Structure 1
């Protein structure tokens, strides 16, 4: 069974505030009626007991018999004051009715006595001549003229006045409490409208805002509880603006980097087509093959850099326990052919095993980029070493050291930016993406690379990684 859930805030207000208030209102009305009826019963019982005492005062003994002279003027005054019918019955010490209505109902057995009055008095409800009546019973001791015992005086009255008083009290209480309920809901509705007015203004502003408008939102929500929403949204806009700006810059730089090899390919193809010499064709095809290899390598790096630039730390990282030594040694074996082509001494030093938490594919790409950069800029017969170590704080360090030209301290920041190639070597085939990709992978693992001068004067790259 589906539960009803209002879609509007005012509907929620009526459901979660108005409904309990109306239930409490009804419960209070019933409670007020019972309390009013109890109060009216106590008030009128006092008058009813006074009537029985008035009758008891008229008991006299004549010729050894108990008699009573009921003052009808008194009874009439009670009837006129209370707008109710009054009945009475008086019995002598022997239980014989000496005055009043013989058929008035007697008191039921086990009726408790009243604790409100210091007298032998009882009150009970009954029905007489088709009407509900309230009855007061009083025992009056008699010890006069040879008559000893207890006389019984019963006075009863209809309960219209009691009900009328209780209804009046109920109506007064219901109207007062109903007014409070309606006033509460009205004030809550006005407060809700006041609270929602800035929200509506913010909604109108967002609807009218252009798709490319990334300016911060104005502080339209004045309350401390809602101001955090604007602050959080503005921070999100700042991050989005930064991401879009980075993507736009990346697209512009990538298109520029791809345009150059495509232009070279077109030129090489034109040279081959314009020459009748087969040797020229072969040279052009070999050059085109080299250009295509460089373009494929550049495209792969661009795709990796683009993927990393879109990673958001809030989306969660695909990390696991990996052996950094295994990754480093695998990268060494993969780069052996490139090292032999320049007669470079490539080797591994360090721990036999080093477990860390990270993304294995990205860590392997980072190692390959660092080795590729070192092998590319290290001169022939040089030395490149990849090293994995661990300090006393259980921090794992990945190091790649070479004896190439190195990087000046003032150029470190530019070296980590994409498409910025340093002019510190005769090697000019790179696109300036390798170290930028390393920086992005390190940032993904919540660290950063350190570019230092090696003892041999070359470059020493150090990356701190979390131990497993």
Structure 2
């Protein structure tokens, strides 16, 4: 329940022409709206209670009149008679505000005395004599209150009844009820504005710590990412401040990681650029064409290494970005992705006479991810395997389908010592003794992308002997109904094939 009248900005310093939902206004709305909703209901309830209160004394007066007339009723033979002297009738009708009617009906319902205007009643099957009852009626279009009583003069004849009725208009009752309602509601007109002011002051006082906290945050320097003290923070806001401090800690960690990355990248870029400049200077000083050609070859190699390093740095920066914001997540078939990209590595494998193969499950292996980043992950794993596998070796890319989706890249290369299997995932770290050139960014890119996809990457020794098995374990996505039907058909048409439940 939100009303635009309670919309406001946080403070004068933040007034930039753009409003937003105010917590102060929201609380005030939820406090005052029920009060304003209940107020008319209280008026109705008060009016009903006032009518009930007004009826009680005047009903008692009507009952007294009915009993007084009952004492004047006599039975003479088969007829009922009323000895109602004129002075008594005058006293009964002597009311300045209301009109009073009375009526006495005999055994057969005939009018014995009084006014015939009072509506008569059908005699009920069971009657409690000598008890005054009340009901509401209308006489000549005017509401009246009727008190009535049945008399049973002869106990031996229970059906011989005399009906006494006294009716009175409701002017005095309405006046008394209005006075009661007015006496109750008039103070409310003064109380409600006072209550609104007190609620406003109370809320203003209650949210003062929030305004103080806001000013504290606004005064902080842009580079100040230190946590906010929760000692003087209200209990209700403390979880929010704790979460804010945790976010600032993560931001500080990311900023430090970026600073380290920039420093490391600058250091790594300096080496190939220095080599380029040195080789170009040598080439400028040489006059021998053969030496110039050799220097140009060195320049080309240095430029290629610099280009590879830059591409790796860009890939790592892209992997470190939040791929949920930059890249769309979709269902990716890892086996289809591998088949599409492995042909690009065939020339390199043939150049080194490497036995290069792919072993798949024969069916779709679907995960939720980004195909661009996944292709980058697989490319780096295969590139490392081909680079560090000597001529005549073997590189096998394998997919496995369990409750997880597994991709393995097995090689017969130089291997990774057990002490370095975790360190190789650090940026720019390279295993000592390797003759191959590299940037030390391939495996860090793999881990970064794997973590974005909630996957686990590890390096294990090749059980067949020399080499390494790089393994990435992905959570599988839930199959669509079409994929479920295809898997069922495959299971029925391929005896002995094992189908694993999806994750």
**TM-score normalised over the length of structure 2:** 0.70
1:84-143 deviation line (CA, Å, top 9, x unaligned): 467677999997989xxxxx8832466999999726998755579xx9976768899999
Matches within 5 A, 1:343-362: 343-348=352-357, 350-351=359-360, 353=362, 355-356=364-365, 357=367, 358-362=369-373
Match of 1:400 in 2: 410
Matches within 5 A, 1:41-440: 41-51=55-65, 53-54=67-68, 68-71=84-87, 75=91, 84=97, 106-108=117-119, 118=131, 124=137, 126=139, 159-174=170-185, 189=200, 192-193=203-204, 195-219=206-230, 221-223=233-235, 226-311=237-322, 318-324=329-335, 327=338, 330-331=341-342, 333-341=343-351, 343-348=352-357, 350-351=359-360, 353=362, 355-356=364-365, 357=367, 358-379=369-390, 381-390=391-400, 395-404=405-414, 406-427=415-436, 429-440=437-448
Instruction: Give, in angstroms, the shift of residue 410 of structure 1.
Output: 1.8
CA shift in 2, pair 1:111/1:328, >3 Å: same
Which one of the candidate residues 454, 472, 478 is aligned to 1:446?
454
Instruction: Give, in angstroms, the shift of residue 450 of structure 1.
Output: 2.0
2:322 aligned counterpart, secondary structure? coil
CA shift in 2, pair 1:352/1:49, >3 Å: closer
CA shift in 2, pair 1:123/1:318, >3 Å: closer
**TM-score normalised over the length of structure 1:** 0.75
Instruction: Give, in angstroms, the shift of residue 170 of structure 1.
Output: 1.6
CA distance, structure 1, for counterparts of residue 386 and residue 246 of structure 2: 42
Instruction: Give, in angstroms, the shift of residue 388 of structure 1.
Output: 0.8
CA shift in 2, pair 1:115/1:32, >3 Å: farther
Match of 1:101 in 2: none
Whether the 8 Å contact between 2:407 and 2:471 is mirrored in structure 1 is yes
Instruction: Give unpaired runs (5+ residues) of structure 1.
Output: 99-103, 144-148
CA distance, structure 1, for counterparts of residue 104 and residue 361 of structure 2: 118
CA shift in 2, pair 1:363/1:452, >3 Å: same
Match of 2:487 in 1: none
2:470 aligned counterpart, secondary structure? strand
Instruction: Give, in angstroms, the shift of residue 439 of structure 1.
Output: 1.9
Name the structure, 1 or 2, with higher relative contact order (CA <8 Å, separation 6+).
1
Match of 1:19 in 2: 33
Whether the 8 Å contact between 2:28 and 2:200 is mirrored in structure 1 is no
Instruction: Give, in angstroms, the shift of residue 304 of structure 1.
Output: 0.5
1:420 aligned counterpart, secondary structure? coil
Whether the 8 Å contact between 2:426 and 2:444 is mirrored in structure 1 is yes
1:38-86 deviation line (CA, Å, top 9, x unaligned): 432342132134245546656899xxx986434479939x96xx87467
Whether the 8 Å contact between 1:88 and 1:153 is mirrored in structure 2 is no
Which one of the candidate residues 455, 462, 465 is aligned to 2:471?
462
2:356 aligned counterpart, secondary structure? strand
Instruction: Give, in angstroms, the shift of residue 282 of structure 1.
Output: 2.6
CA shift in 2, pair 1:339/1:32, >3 Å: closer
Q: Single out whichever of 393-402 and 287-296 deviates more from structure 2.
A: 393-402
CA distance, structure 1, for counterparts of residue 473 and residue 323 of structure 2: 21
Q: CA RMSD in A?
A: 4.7
Match of 2:50 in 1: 36
Q: Single out whichever of 118-127 and 19-28 deviates more from structure 2.
A: 118-127
Instruction: Give unpaired runs (5+ residues) of structure 2.
Output: 8-21, 76-80, 155-159, 478-503
Which protein has the larger Cα radius of gyration, Structure 1 or Structure 2? 1
Q: Would you say how many aligned residue pairs link Structure 1 and Structure 2?
A: 445
